[in-house]
């Protein structure tokens, strides 16, 4: 049997690699998508081969991730439950897509992942696989009773790793999990499972990877200009950049100023609530700037229509339906809304805050001649508002009269 495993080199997938090899008598191809993990990829191939993989494939998918996933999602204004920038959620369909392609080229029988039976990632991986390659078997060790009997929790996994000389970053003294990519770093489990636990406390400062604490950020604000074309950021501070370059530049700026830290209790697709801590410095800046550009260039009714779909679109991404026909249909509508989202947004970054400092666009729908409070009846006759209000008030007056009549009766 041949299995393609989504491999990160962390505690779970390192243990699972060895477990799959032993329990399925299988040849394991470890696949790692480089989507911005940085130093986490150092020595990964050597580690995978020593752990038991027959082959380790590492591919740089950062540009594709930024261009075809992050940027498309941010055009939609997606943010889950008003707080989460969907950093983990949006990475999974890309990883699954490439796993499927590798499985076919390697003539593998199955793909496998290290997501638990309590989380969202299992759904995201497997819905993507179902949409792209329904013929492939999907193996999820955490949902197998024999695996859970052997590894009741992280303590048993750490002990197994030590006994089998499998090097992993997680240790008993730091038992939270971390997932990093170009858009964010997420932290969960272990000490973070208590929602009263303060992740902004001094003792937790070493946990964060991308950003300083807001109180440690510079005491002076820094300005940054983002240039947009057709809904996508194409330049930062006048320098033309690829989508990957944009994310890297904004991550550096945002991290320097303590921007994009989020600590939330979210509603998981599987039915429970979960506590997650996230760093999304560049994403927070991009999301904010994109909205500012839209306020200047997007028609009111088009904006309100698109905004009404943000919860639906965000839930589709969060729940793993990236390759669904409804997400693709929504994306087509989103693309239409972005035709005129072109111009420049100027921001100030200061101690965790993003402050708008200006916006301009050749496609601007803002007309100072109409908006001005100065007397210019040629552009807007204030007398017209009388009839406008009278017509909109008509149904309210009829209802009020009926309520008065009911009371008198």
Tens of pLDDT, residues 106-128: 999 999 999 989 889 999 999 99
pLDDT the model gives residue 360: 98
Q: Provide the pLDDT confidence category of residue 4 given band limits of 50, 70 and 90.
A: very high
Q: What are phi and psi of 292, to 5 degrees?
A: -60, -40
Contact call for residues 69 and 36 (beta carbons, < 8 A) = no
DSSP letter assigned to residue 274: E
| Rounded CA Rg of the chain | 25
Alpha-carbon gap, residue 400 to 395, rounded angstroms: 9
pLDDT at position 305, please?
A: 98
Q: How confident is the model at residue 261 (pLDDT cuts 50, 70, 90)?
A: very high
- pLDDT at position 222 is 98
The answer to whether the CB of 233 falls within 8 A of the CB of 86 is: no
Residue 218 confidence (pLDDT) above 70:
yes
According to the model, what pLDDT value does residue 124 have? Answer: 97
- Which residues are within 8 A (CB) of 89 and not within 5 positions of it... i.e. 6 or more apart? 80, 120, 124, 317, 318, 320
Least confident of 185-189, 297-301, 370-374: 370-374
Local structure of residue 259 (DSSP, 8 states): -
| Catalytic machinery residues | 12, 92, 121, 177
CA 293 to chain centre: 20
Q: Tell me which residue of 124, 188, 113 sits closest to 327, measured CA to CA.
A: 124
- What does the pLDDT read at residue 175? 58
pLDDT given for residue 171 in this prediction: 55
Q: What percent of the chain has pLDDT over 70?
A: 98
Average pLDDT (205-221) is 96
Q: Give pLDDT, residue 97.
A: 98
157-185 residue pLDDT tens: 889 998 888 877 655 556 588 889 999 99
- The model's pLDDT over 330-365, given as tens digits with 9 standing for 90+, comes to 999 999 999 999 999 999 999 999 999 999 999 999
pLDDT at residue 409, rounded to an integer: 73
Residues 70 and 182 sit within 8 Å (Cβ to Cβ): yes
What is the C-alpha end-to-end distance of the chain, expressed in Å? 82
Query: Which run of H or E residues covers position 226?
Result: strand 222-229
Determine the longest span between alpha carbons in the chain, in angstroms: 87
pLDDT at 377: 66
Q: What is the pLDDT of residue 380?
A: 82
Q: What is the pLDDT of residue 258?
A: 98
Name the band, by pLDDT with cuts 50, 70 and 90, for residue 154: confident
**Per-residue pLDDT tens for 62-85?**
999 999 999 999 999 999 999 999
Average pLDDT on 22-33 reads 96
pLDDT of residue 370: 84
With 80 as the cut, is the pLDDT of residue 274 above it? Answer: yes
Among candidates 343, 305, 74, which has minimal Cα distance to 183? 74
Bigger pLDDT: 12 or 251? 251
**Does position 304 have pLDDT exceeding 90, yes or no?**
yes
Amino acid 379: pLDDT: 77
Q: Using alpha carbons, select from 286, 297, 262 the residue that is nearest to residue 349.
A: 286
Concatenated DSSP letters for 303-318? HHHHHHTHHHHHHHHH
- Helix, strand, coil abundance in the chain, percent, nearest 5: 45, 20, 35
Distances (CA, A) of 129 to 122, 152, 388: 11, 27, 54
Q: Write down the mean pLDDT value for the chain.
A: 94
Angle, alpha carbons 135-139-145 (nearest 5°):
140
Q: What is the pLDDT of residue 402?
A: 93
> Is this prediction's pTM over 0.85?
yes
């Amino acid at each position: 049997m041949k299995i393609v495993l989504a491999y990160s080199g962390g505690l779970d997938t390192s243990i699972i690699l060895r477990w799959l090899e032993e329990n399925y008598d299988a040849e394991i191809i470890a696949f790692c998508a480089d989507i911005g993990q940085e130093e986490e990829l150092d020595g990964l191939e050597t580690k995978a081969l020593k752990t038991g993989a027959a082959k380790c494939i590492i591919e740089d998918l950062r540009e594709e991730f930024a261009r075809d996933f992050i940027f498309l999602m941010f055009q939609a204004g997606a943010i889950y439950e008003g707080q989460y920038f969907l950093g983990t959620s949006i990475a999974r369909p890309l990883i699954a897509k490439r796993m499927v392609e590798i499985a076919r080229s390697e003539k593998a029988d199955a793909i496998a992942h290290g997501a638990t039976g309590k989380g969202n990632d299992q759904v995201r991986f497997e819905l993507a696989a179902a949409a792209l390659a329904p013929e492939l078997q999907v193996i999820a060790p955490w949902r197998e009773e024999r695996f859970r009997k052997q590894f009741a929790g992280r303590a048993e996994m750490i002990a197994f790793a030590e006994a089998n000389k499998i090097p992993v970053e997680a240790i008993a003294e730091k038992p939270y999990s971390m997932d990093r990519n170009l858009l964010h770093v997420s932290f969960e489990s272990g000490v973070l499972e208590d929602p009263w636990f303060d992740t902004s406390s001094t003792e937790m400062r070493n946990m964060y990877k991308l950003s300083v604490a807001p109180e440690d950020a510079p005491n002076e604000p820094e300005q940054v200009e983002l240039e947009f074309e057709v809904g996508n950021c194409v330049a930062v501070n006048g320098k033309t950049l690829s989508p990957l370059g944009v994310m890297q530049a904004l991550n550096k700026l945002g991290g320097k100023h303590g921007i994009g830290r989020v600590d939330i209790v979210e509603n998981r697709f599987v039915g429970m609530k979960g506590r997650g801590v996230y760093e999304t410095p560049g994403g927070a800046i991009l999301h904010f700037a994109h909205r500012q550009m839209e306020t200047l260039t997007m028609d009111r009714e088009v904006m309100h229509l698109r905004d009404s779909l943000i919860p639906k679109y965000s839930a589709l991404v969060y729940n793993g339906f990236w390759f669904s026909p409804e997400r693709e249909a929504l994306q087509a509508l989103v693309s239409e809304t972005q035709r005129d989202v072109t111009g420049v947004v100027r921001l100030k970054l200061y101690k965790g805050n993003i402050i708008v400092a200006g916006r301009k666009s050749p496609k601007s729908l803002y007309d100072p001649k109409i908006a001005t409070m100065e007397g210019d009846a040629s552009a807007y006759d204030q007398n017209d508002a009388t009839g406008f209000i009278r017509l909109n008030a008509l149904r309210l007056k009829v209802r009020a009269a009926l309520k008065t009549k009911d009371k008198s009766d």
